[in-house]
A and B are shown apart, each in its own frame.
Chain A
Amino acid sequence: MYHKSKGYKIFSFFNYIFLILIALSCFLPMLHLLAQSLSSKAAINGNLVSFWPVDFNADAYVKTFKNSNFTGSMQVSVFRTVLGTLISMFIITTAGYALSKDFRGRNALMWVFIFTMLFSGGLIPSYILVTKLGLKDTIWSLVLPGAFGAYNLILIMNFFKTIPKALEEAAFIDGASFFVIFRKIYLPLSLPGLATVGLFIMVGHWNAWFDGILYMSNTENYPLASFLQTVVVQGSAQSMALSQSEAAAMSEQSIKAAQIFISTLPIILVYPFLQKYFVKGIVLGAVKE
């Protein structure tokens, strides 16, 4: 019994300590943020808040939800996440299904897709493309450019490949078409993979800020992450000409904390529902038959 040896016990002791430390380093910043969001401005400015609120108040949350910019951005973010995930999933699963089969030119196609993983046109060409297509200032500029990701495609494709061919052949004999097979056999059987990739895409959309700032000329269209980026990354010594009123507004640390906290909640809430698939989906290919 290997787990009764002395060496194993020592290992697991340090292993626990190590993992607990890592877990804390992830968890404590969140706790600090929560404490800040519930503290008074004076206490925060004086650096008095660590992991427990000082001068407890929930003003920051009230103000955040009263701020139409915040709630508006939240809507944009939710919409973009749902729409973007649906579009991406549709493209990736259909493409992945096709590519999991053997056909002429498959390798060439694959090569083209993988090429995009290694090289990209860069910021300026992408920007010019998006503006010339007239996507600027629309939700499409947020969901279309990144809709197809080669990495996710490979994940899904490999998942499809693990499904026994015999299943498909049986369905063919029963008269099913490719679409029916795809919909009724492949998709339900690959739920873990779909959930994993779906979560990747969702989190990606939720956290993406740069494209929002780049393609939107109106702050009302900013997704939440872009909005937070502009609010939280505060003026450094470079923006010296800040006027008095602006400088005073900058120190509302509690509101920033509240906004960050609220913005992370939805994605945290989604996670438990996908978690059961998650473990299965990511270890694909670990064991070969």
Chain B
Amino acid sequence: MKKTGVLLSAALLMTGLLAGCGSDNKGSSSAAEATLKDGKYDPPITISIAKQQDENAGKYINGESLNDNVLTRWGKEHLGIQIETTLLGGDATQYNTKLRLALTGSEKLPDVLPVYDTSLENDLIQSGLVKDITEDISKYMPERLKEIYKEYPTAFNPVIQDGKVYGMPIAPNLTEGQVMLIRQDWLDKLNLKAPTTIDEFEKVIAAFTNDDPDGNGKQDTYGFDFSGKDSYNTGWVSDSVMIFSAYTGKHLPGQWYSEDGKLTYGSVAEGTKDALAKLRDWYSKGYLNKELATQGAWDALADFTEGKAGIIIGRPWLYGSVKDVETNVQGAKISAYPTISGVSGDKTYQSGQQNDGVFMFNKDFNNMEAFFLYYDKLYDAAFGTGDFKYGYAEGYDYDTVNGEVVFDSKKFNTPMDAAQGVGKMSFTKNTPNVDGPGKSFYDLAQGAKPDNGVLMRSAANDPTAKDGYVISYENRDVLLPNAFNGPPTKTMQTSWEQLNTMEKETFTKIIYSKEPLEAYDTFVKQWHDKGGTQITEEVNDWYTNASKVDVMSNMGLK
């Protein structure tokens, strides 16, 4: 008797718990009665969002906070839309953990979810908690946004399932390409030209290593500074992908490339071995960053900033992070150059990103129209129109001093250490941008007058960074987005990590001369045997599937 009682109460408890899990997800966003009057919702509606917020991205000023700041107030006053962050994660890992926990059903999912991880995107779709937005896009997306989204059809790939679209890319736009930052004073001192081919590159880094470019009588400098800790193709800063691309063309390490409708994996492509042989040779001669396999992208910069390294590669803004060398070392001068061309005479290619994650929506969210209204307004700053002609808020990310718009937060009416990052105020960590790899900089260089916010902001940059952006724009055809951006395939889930580790170890050991160059051939064979062949097949299946249904037409984006 006693036992049954215990069992019974346990069973009751369980059902109670389970019922509790489900019930919270119902009946959200019942503010459907709110109507749009003169571009404003009355009564105001609330959109709850999830957000990944980098603490490094500036700080709140004027005692503001996540849910009460100049931009959330603006949304309420001008649009009748109150943005409320109900799920917050500091860095990518934490954010993903919190999203996964929210998926357990223990709490209500926010209305709008920016998701930055393809496998999480897939899980959300499988869970049935996110909305199919195919129709909403065709119905509610404003025209000027449609024009933008039309250009990036493959950015939708990760969120398409059975011909339905479960999300939309966040602010699709190609990232800026990389430039080569070189110590101009060293080049001048040694009477060298900036390299344009791999042979010239070798000559320059050899001279930077052996010919004492800093003139201190010691052989304490080296040529090429990069990080191989995370990947040999980061598409970011301290990157080495240029050397690989010089031999493999468009087949970049760690990335998939579509050739005649078939995807192939770059790390096992022809030419990679030659690139590794070159890096191995350079490493043994001391031309490269000695700690390249242990220093992360950010750590690798230190050598350059200290004045020990001569060449570093990264996005044009990298100049801002290494220009301290001009303070630390007297006479130091950095110049930006385009990356070299490959052995075939073609350009070298690099990884380009076309969006940072996707927006997904709670299946109970009924205010897609309001979302698009708000999202479109945020684009005002990118187009330099409307309320956000110069920036998002005067005194926050720009200021007007004596009738002139300034972007340097130290020159504000109330000078600040750092402008309040717009990413901290609203919606997503990165704000919409339509400037691509640097069109505004190119236009300025062509003589355009800085008469809107975007151009003015660009004009306020460092001259060297500006040069870099112009180079990036002129060479925008070298940017290759990864052709595979779907969720991990079945075999990937079990073997990809292992294959990746093997790849990185092999590459690093070859460069460090800890293993013979032939180890690469063994690696290629093993890669195929241990799942690579299977994965290539699956990835190709995914690729054909993703392009089977013409979702772009269904969304009215054609």
Contact A218–B106 (Cβ < 8 Å): no
8 Å CB contact of A241 from B67, B296, B353: B353
Q: Is the CB of B327 within 8 A of A42?
A: yes
- Write out the residue numbers on chain A whose beta carbons fall within 8 Å of the beta carbon of B94: 213-214, 230
B98 at the interface (CB under 8 A from A): yes
Q: How many A-B residue pairs have CB under 8 A?
A: 154
Q: A248 near B320 (CB under 8 angstroms)?
A: yes
> Given that A136-B107, A243-B430 are contacting pairs, would A229 and B230 also be in contact in the complex, using a CB cutoff of 8 Å?
no
Q: Is B107's CB under 8 angstroms from A244's CB?
A: no
**B residues contacting the other copy or chain, number (CB 8 A):** 68
Tell me whether B230 and A234 are in contact (CB under 8 A): no
Provide the bound-state CA to CA distance between A217 and B65, in Å: 12
Residues of A within 8 A of B97 (CB): 214
B91 near A230: Cβ-Cβ < 8 Å: yes
The complex places the Cα of A250 from the Cα of B107 at a distance, in Å, of: 33
A residues 235-275 in Cβ contact with B at 8 Å: 235-252
* Chain A residues with CB below 8 A from B315, complex form: 244
Which candidate, B258-266, B275-283, B416-424, is the interface stretch facing chain A?
B416-424
Give Cα A250 to B91, complex, Å: 13
The 8 Å CB contact of B324, one of A46, A63, A227, is: A46
How far is B63's CA from A243's CA once the two chains are assembled, in angstroms?
24
Interface string of B65-90 (1 = CB under 8 A from A): 11100000000000000000111111
With most chain B CB atoms within 10 A of its CB, the pick from A127, A217, A220, A252 is: A217
Is A240 touching B234 in the complex (CB atoms < 8 A)? yes
Which B residues are in CB contact (< 8 Å) with A213?
Answer: 89-90, 94, 98
Tell me the B214-269 residues at the A interface (CB within 8 Å): 227, 230-231, 234-237
- A127 contacts which chain B residues (CB < 8 A)? 101, 104, 106
Question: Are A68 and B60 in contact, CB atoms less than 8 angstroms apart?
Answer: yes
Q: Please, which residues of chain B bring their CB within 8 A of the CB of A205?
A: none
A4 at the interface (CB under 8 A from B): no
Bits for B345-367, please: 1 = Cβ < 8 Å to A, else 0: 00000000100100000000000
B11-25: contact bitstring with A at CB < 8 Å (1 yes, 0 no)? Answer: 000000100110000
A138 adjacent to chain B (CB < 8 Å): no
Asked if A45 is an interface residue, CB under 8 A from chain B, the answer is yes
Give every chain A residue within 8 A of B230 (Cβ-Cβ).
236-238
Complex contact A251–B104 (CB within 8 A): no
Contact among B56, B318, B324, B430 for A231, CB-based, below 8 A: B56
List CB contacts (< 8 Å) of A42-92 with chain B.
Answer: 42-43, 45-48, 63, 67-69
Residues B55 and A231 in contact, CB atoms below 8 Å apart: yes
Residue in A124, A227, A234 whose beta carbon sits within 8 Å of that of B101 in the complex: A124
Q: How far is the CA of A43 from the CA of B55 in the complex (A)?
A: 23
B552 within 8 A of A: no
List which A164-180 residues lie within 8 A (CB) of chain B.
none
A132 touches B54 (CB 8 A): no
CA distance A41 to B230 in the complex (A): 25
Let me know if B90 and A68 touch, CB within 8 A.
Answer: no
Interface residue B137 (Cβ < 8 Å from any Cβ of A): no
B383 at the interface (CB under 8 A from A): no
A45 near B430 with CB under 8 A, answer no
- Which of B118-126, B299-307, B374-382, B541-549 is found at the contact surface with chain A? B299-307
Residues of B within 8 A of A47 (CB): 302-303, 305-306
- A247: chain B residues at CB < 8 Å are 237, 317-318, 320-321
CB contacts (< 8 Å) of A141 on chain B: these are: none
Q: Is B492's beta carbon under 8 Å from chain A?
A: no
Give min CB distance, A233 to chain B, whole Å.
Answer: 6
- In this assembly, does A107 line the interface, its C-beta being within 8 Å of a C-beta of chain B? no
Interface assignment of B322: CB less than 8 Å from any CB of chain A: yes
* The one of A45, A63, A237 that contacts B321, using a Cβ cutoff of 8 Å: A45
Query: Secondary structure at chain A's binding surface: helix, strand, loop or mixed?
Result: helix
Decide: B107 and A131 in contact? CB cutoff 8 A: yes
Residue B140, interface by CB 8 Å: no
A152 lies within 8 A of chain B by Cβ = no
Docked-complex contact A46 and B305, CB < 8 angstroms = yes
A248→B231 contact, CB < 8 A: no
Q: Is the CB–CB distance between A41 and B66 below 8 Å?
A: no
CA distance A127 to B203 in the complex (A): 58
Residues of A contacting B325 in the complex (Cβ-Cβ under 8 angstroms): 46
Q: Are A132 and B305 in contact (CB under 8 A)?
A: no
For A67, A68, A244, the residue with the greatest tally of chain B CB atoms inside 10 Å of its CB is: A244
A64 to chain B, nearest CB (A): 11
Residues on the B chain within 8 Å of A214, using CB: 94, 97-98, 101
Query: Is the beta-carbon distance between B417 and A237 smaller than 8 angstroms?
Result: no
Task: Report A-chain residues with C-beta under 8 Å of the C-beta of B301.
Answer: 45, 251
Nearest residue, chain A, Cβ from B422: A245
**Residue from the list A46, A132, A245 in contact with B419, Cβ < 8 A:** A245
Residues of B contacting A245 in the complex (Cβ-Cβ under 8 angstroms): 57-58, 419, 421
> Chain A nearest CB: distance from B301 CB in Å?
7
Contact A124 B104 (CB under 8 A): yes
Question: Most A CB atoms within 10 A — which of B54, B63, B231?
Answer: B54
B175 contacts the other chain (CB 8 A):
yes
Contacts of B34 in A (CB 8 A): none
Does B297 touch A at the CB level, under 8 Å? yes
- Give chain B residues whose Cβ lies under 8 Å from the Cβ of A249: 56-58, 418, 421
Q: Does B59 contact A (CB under 8 A)?
A: yes
Given contacts A234-B298, A246-B423, A249-B421, contact A42 B430 (CB under 8 A): no
Q: Are B89 and A248 in contact (CB under 8 A)?
A: no
List the B side residues contacting A131 at CB < 8 Å. Answer: 106-107
A231 to B57: give the CA distance in the assembly, Å: 9
B536 at the interface (CB under 8 A from A): no
Shortest C-beta distance, B331 to chain A (Å), equals 15
| CB neighbours of A240 from chain B (8 A) | 175, 234-236, 353
- Knowing A124-B101, A241-B356, A250-B298, say if A230 contacts B55 (CB, 8 Å): yes
Q: Can you name the residue of chain A whose Cβ is closest to the Cβ of B357?
A: A241
Question: Is the CB of B30 closer than 8 A to any CB of chain A?
Answer: no
Q: How far is the CA of A268 from the CA of B131 in the complex (A)?
A: 51
Given the contacts A45-B302, A218-B66, A226 and B90 also touching, CB distance less than 8 Å: yes
Q: Does A219 contact B (CB under 8 A)?
A: yes
Selected from A227, A229, A238, A252, the residue in CB contact (under 8 A) with B92 is A238
Closest Cβ of chain B to A162, distance in Å, is 39
- Of the candidates A45, A237, A250, the one whose C-beta lies within 8 Å of that of B56 is A250
Q: Is B328 a contact of A46 with CB atoms below 8 Å?
A: yes
Within the complex, the shortest CB–CB distance from B530 to chain A, in Å, comes to 24
Task: Please tell me if the beta carbons of A42 and B328 are within 8 angstroms of each other in the complex.
Answer: yes
Pairs across A and B, CB under 8 Å, 22 listed: A45-B301, A47-B305, A48-B306, A63-B417, A124-B104, A127-B104, A132-B20, A136-B107, A214-B101, A218-B66, A226-B90, A230-B91, A236-B297, A237-B230, A238-B230, A240-B234, A242-B54, A243-B430, A245-B58, A246-B57, A247-B321, A249-B57
Which 3 interchain pairs have the tightest Cβ spacing? A230-B90, A241-B356, A237-B230
